[in-house]
């Protein structure tokens, strides 16, 4: 039986000036409960970001932070933009990007939940830009092997035609990492996923290496976005 998914998923990316990094770190700690208690929130994670080159602490970008949330309805997501939490982050940030997403497919769990439901095949067709979220909780005993495997995949990813944006995301400096990426089409994403030699090799090693204690992959239709990332609109 398919589980009804959220009506809307949003991702915020906030880039703060260097002087505001301590305040952003404070907000990461104190805003978690407020975000999760927001009306209409099904699932929410405040996230650190990085370049995703190796998924180690050295990749972290202390100037960019994020919020990924799934919503029961679009009205609740829009109301959040008028909340005190969103207002504080806007005041801290020197650059903001917000994207609205609709789940097309999802498998796996995040913190023991299925945050994007179990979208059926009826929602899988989409002719516009798509986004992908990967997230994994590494087994500590297998982390070193995983880290050695990541750099070729990261290099391959950033060389792919059709990639609009790629950001490493994480709930902690080590062990709870993932990626958020935006592609011009489903075909471009699939070309990387199934034809990229480095990515395919890592996928084939996942089960025998037992890297992950928990993993999730989800694909989304990109329905709307506003703002910029590093001075540009990823969808332009």
List, for residues 36-80, the tens digit of each pLDDT value.
Answer: 999 999 999 999 998 754 445 567 899 999 999 999 999 999 999
56 in helix, strand or coil?
Answer: coil
pLDDT-derived band at 118 (thresholds 50, 70, 90) equals confident
The predicted structure's pLDDT at residue 1: 40
Look up residue 2 and give its two tokens.
């398919």
Quick one: pLDDT at residue 122? 46
Structural element, H or E, at residue 163: strand 163-170
Range picked from 87-96, 104-113, 200-209 for highest mean pLDDT: 87-96
Q: Which residues of 121-133 are buried (b: 16+ CB within 10 A; e: fewer)?
A: eeeeebeebbbbb
Who wins on pLDDT, 104 or 53? Answer: 104
Alpha-carbon span 84 to 10, nearest angstrom: 17
Take residue 196 and report the two structure tokens written for it.
């990229």
Beta-bridge partners for 96: 14
Domain boundaries, the chain: 8-225
Q: What is the pTM of this model?
A: 0.86
| pLDDT attached to residue 52 | 54
User: Are 171 and 223 within 8 A, CB to CB?
Assistant: no
CATH architecture of 8-225: 2-Layer Sandwich (3.30)
- The residue with greater pLDDT, 111 or 155, is 111
């Amino acid at each position: 039986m398919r589980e009804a998914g959220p009506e809307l998923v949003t991702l915020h990316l906030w880039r703060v000036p260097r002087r505001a990094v301590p305040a952003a770190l404070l907000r990461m700690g104190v805003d978690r409960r407020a975000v999760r208690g927001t009306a209409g929130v099904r699932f929410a994670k405040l996230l650190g970001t990085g370049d995703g080159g190796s998924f180690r602490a050295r990749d972290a970008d202390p100037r960019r932070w994020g919020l990924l949330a799934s919503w029961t309805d679009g009205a609740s997501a829009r109301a959040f933009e008028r909340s005190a939490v969103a207002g504080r982050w806007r005041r801290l940030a020197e650059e903001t990007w917000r994207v609205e997403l609709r789940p097309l497919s999802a498998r796996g769990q995040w913190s023991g939940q299925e945050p994007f439901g179990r979208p059926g095949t009826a929602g899988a067709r989409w002719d516009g830009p798509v986004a992908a979220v990967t997230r994994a909780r590494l087994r500590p005993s297998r982390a070193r092997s995983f880290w050695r495997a990541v750099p070729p995949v990261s290099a391959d990813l950033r060389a792919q035609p059709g990639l609009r944006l790629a950001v490493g995301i994480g709930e902690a400096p080590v062990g709870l990492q993932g990626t958020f990426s935006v592609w011009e089409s489903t075909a471009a994403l699939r070309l990387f996923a199934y034809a990229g030699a480095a990515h395919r090799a890592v996928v084939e090693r996942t089960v025998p290496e037992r890297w992950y204690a928990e993993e999730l992959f989800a694909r989304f239709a990109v329905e709307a976005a506003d703002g910029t990332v590093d001075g540009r609109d990823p969808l332009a």
